[in-house]
Amino acid sequence: MPDRVSSLYAPSAGIAAVGAVVPDLVGVIRDRHDLSPLATAAVGRLVAGAVLFGASLKGKERISIQIAADGPIEGLFADAWLLDENTVGARGYARNPHVDLPLNARGKFDVAGAVGSGSLQITKTYEAGKPYMGIVALHSGEIAEDLAAYLVRSEQIPSAVALGVLANPEGVIAAGGILAEVLPGADERAVLELERRAQSLRPVTQLMSEGADSDGLVRALAGDLELREHRRLAVRFACLCSREKVEAALVGLGVDDLRQMARENDTTQASCEYCKRDYTFNADELLALGKSVS
């Protein structure tokens, strides 16, 4: 079953919901960044959240989510954008990919303990014009609750978010989530209906383990409500890096550092922090970059 994100809505109840099932995406990120099981859970939740938000993107828009916090994972990042009109690309990383803590009191990954306290920032960039940026204090550090709190506080949209990742030292077993919102113009009954359905929703990891796909997650929330399809997109790992961008970052080091690197090494490797791809530069190339700034 390929990774997918589905947007559906229930006009009669005034509720819209997005479901994402992304075990392959999270598995690729885990492998590239050598994430511990706990870091896999944290990054997996955040990137699933970026994909859920990304389901409504158009054209060259991009959504990025950054957590800056004081816990041992040292911060997290994920973003999503459209690769084409049918596909969402996404990536993510943790500053400390090897973070490890005992399971929490409920026997789950202690994501809140790894994240700590700090802030959650969401930036949406458009094809043209200034990006939109919202920032809120972290609510719990469990990520799903933080994203729901962001939507309520920063965008005044009553929402429910559930995210889940099942991972072990061998890999990712399940990953995905649901984002449900009250439709614009819906009344208080829709808010209560959404709360009631979100509270009775079974854990998304359980639903995915039983075979739920992205539509199935939404249906589990919607129950007997009649659903209409809005959009369904494939999801896959992608990165926006290029040799030109790495060159620009090297130029930013300054001519002295570039000359020193060229003297000390036959070849220098610079790796992309988002995807871990290595870009190799020989001494002549570094000196040429140095010339371009001097």
Residues that bind Zn ion (CB under 5 A): 239, 241, 272, 274-275, 277
**Residue 153 or 277 having the CB closest to Zn ion:** 277
How many whole angstroms from its chain centre is CA 62?
A: 12
Of the pair 239, 253, the CB lying nearest Zn ion is at 239
Strand partners, 90: 80, 237
Which CB atom, from 173 or from 279, has the smaller least distance to Zn ion? 279
Comparing CA positions, the residue from 121, 112, 43, 125 lying closest to residue 81 is: 125
Nearer to Zn ion, 83 or 275 (CB): 275
Helix (H, G, I), strand (E, B) or coil at 139: coil
Buried b (16+ CB within 10 A) or exposed e, 7-39: bbbbeebbbbbbbbbbbbbbbbbbebbebbbbb
Half-sphere exposure (Cβ direction) of 81: Cα atoms closer than 13 Å: 17
Contact (CB, 8 A) for 189 and 14: yes
Q: Which is nearer to Zn ion, 122 or 272 (CB)?
A: 272
Is the CB of 201 or the CB of 272 nearer to Zn ion?
A: 272
Report the nearest approach of Zn ion to the CB of residue 245 (Å): 8
**Distance in Å, CB of 274 to Zn ion, minimum:** 4
Smallest separation (angstroms) from Zn ion to the CB of 197? 39
Q: How far is the CB of 203 from Zn ion (least distance, A)?
A: 33
Report which residue type is found at 146: D
Could you give the CA distance from residue 178 to residue 17 in angstroms, rounded to a whole number?
A: 7
Tokens found for residue 286: 């570094």
Q: How far is the CB of 287 from Zn ion (least distance, A)?
A: 25
Our CB check for Zn ion shows the closer of 89 and 176 to be 89
CB of 271 to Zn ion, least distance (A): 8
Structure tokens at 206: 């359980």
User: Residue 88 Cβ, how far from Zn ion at the closest point, in Å?
Assistant: 17
When the beta carbons of 47 and 272 are compared against Zn ion, the nearer one is 272
Q: Please list, in sequence order, all residues whose beta carbon lies within 8 angstroms of the beta carbon of residue 192, skipping any fewer than 6 positions away.
A: none
Closest C-alpha among 274, 249, 255 to residue 95: 274
Q: In the complex, what is the shortest distance from the CB of residue 84 to Zn ion, in angstroms, rounded to a whole number?
A: 19
Structure tokens at 120: 């959650």
The two tokens of residue 167 are: 């991972």
DSSP, collapsed to helix, strand or coil, labels residue 289 as helix
Q: Output the six-digit token pair for 235.
A: 């999801």
